[in-house]
């Protein structure tokens, strides 16, 4: 049984999940154990025996411990220092590791993790589907659709994105709101009503600012025209 409730890892490790989910999950476990091992030097003494103890604390037994150590070390040392981090519960990790999942179920996991990596500690955020899918593919920044993994690209359309969001809303605790807005708002901490309130408040503020700027611009142009007329006279 694992002593660690969460597996926290850089978003880049999700790349290739739809092609080989087991490999990605194994890489995640290698990274997480190595990170805990180096971050808790006093507990694990920095020795190979200490690393084996860290594996035991995660409730994982590797056939090749040395290979697991080296792979985790490589991921730890090559991952961008300020990479967006995301986490899944130990229960969720083992559910996807040991049970057969459909591709759509895997996509839903990616969608959930991507949202959480973007939200971080924020209550809500506004984004678009391209940025969302970029994170689902393990990219830190928004990338072009043609650069997203082919299997994931197939889901980047109105029908599929709506289907994924509806599943996350129904079963994963997501709140999502979009109405007369470019992009959409998401939250795992707020109710849909509260999320809608904040979204509409921001939209009204943006509209009021635009109207104010339009009036200012119209005034400046009118004064320029009057100045030119006076010059002619």
Say yes or no: 109 and 78 in one domain: no
Predicted confidence at residue 165, as pLDDT, reads 97
Would 59 be classed as within a structural domain?
A: yes
Predicted confidence at residue 1, as pLDDT, reads 53
Q: Where are the beta strands (DSSP E) in the chain?
A: 6-10, 85-89, 125-127, 175-177, 184-187
Task: Tell me which of 98, 129, 148 is where a domain ends.
Answer: 98
Say yes or no: 84 and 128 in one domain: no
* Domain span holding position 169: 102-233
Say yes or no: 188 and 117 in one domain: yes
Q: Which residues of the chain have a pLDDT value below 70?
A: 1-2, 80-81, 180-181, 204-214, 219, 223, 226-227, 229, 233
Q: Where are the alpha helices (DSSP H) in 128-174?
A: 129-136, 150-153, 158-171
Say yes or no: 113 and 218 in one domain: yes
- The answer to whether 19 touches 151, Cβ cutoff 8 Å, is yes
Would 213 be classed as within a structural domain?
A: yes
Query: What is the C-alpha separation between 14 and 75, in angstroms, rounded?
Result: 12
Say yes or no: 61 and 116 in one domain: no
Say yes or no: 107 and 209 in one domain: yes
Say yes or no: 54 and 152 in one domain: no
Say yes or no: 127 and 153 in one domain: yes
Would 12 be classed as within a structural domain?
A: yes
| pTM for the model | 0.83
Say yes or no: 158 and 216 in one domain: yes
Would 1 be classed as within a structural domain?
A: no
Task: Tell me which of 67, 98, 129 is where a domain ends.
Answer: 98
Say yes or no: 213 and 116 in one domain: yes
Short-list 77, 64, 91, 5, CA closest to 35: 77
Query: Structural domain tally of the chain?
Result: 2
Would 151 be classed as within a structural domain?
A: yes
Predicted confidence at residue 209, as pLDDT, reads 64
Task: Tell me which of 98, 130, 146 is where a domain ends.
Answer: 98
Say yes or no: 123 and 140 in one domain: yes
Say yes or no: 108 and 66 in one domain: no
């Amino acid at each position: 049984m694992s002593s660690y409730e969460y597996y926290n890892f850089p978003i880049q490790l999700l790349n290739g999940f739809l092609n080989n989910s087991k490999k990605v999950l194994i890489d995640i476990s290698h990274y997480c154990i190595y990170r805990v091992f180096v971050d808790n030097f006093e507990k694990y003494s920095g020795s190979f025996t200490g690393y084996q103890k860290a594996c035991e604390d995660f409730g994982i037994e590797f056939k090749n411990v040395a290979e697991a150590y080296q792979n985790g070390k490589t991921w730890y040392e090559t991952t961008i220092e300020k990479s967006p981090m995301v986490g899944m519960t130990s229960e969720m990790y083992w559910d996807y590791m040991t049970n057969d999942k459909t591709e759509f179920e895997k996509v839903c996991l990616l969608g959930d993790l991507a949202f959480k990596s973007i939200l971080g500690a924020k209550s809500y955020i506004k984004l678009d589907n391209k940025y969302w899918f970029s994170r689902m593919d393990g990219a830190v920044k928004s990338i072009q659709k043609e650069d997203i993994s082919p299997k994931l690209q197939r889901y980047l359309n109105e029908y599929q994105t709506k289907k994924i969001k509806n599943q996350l809303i129904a079963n994963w605790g997501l709140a999502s709101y979009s109405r007369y807005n470019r992009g959409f708002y998401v939250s795992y901490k707020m109710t849909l009503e509260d999320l809608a309130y904040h979204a509409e408040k921001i939209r009204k503020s943006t509209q009021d600012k635009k109207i104010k700027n339009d009036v200012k611009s119209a005034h400046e142009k009118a004064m320029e025209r009057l100045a030119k007329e006076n010059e002619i006279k």
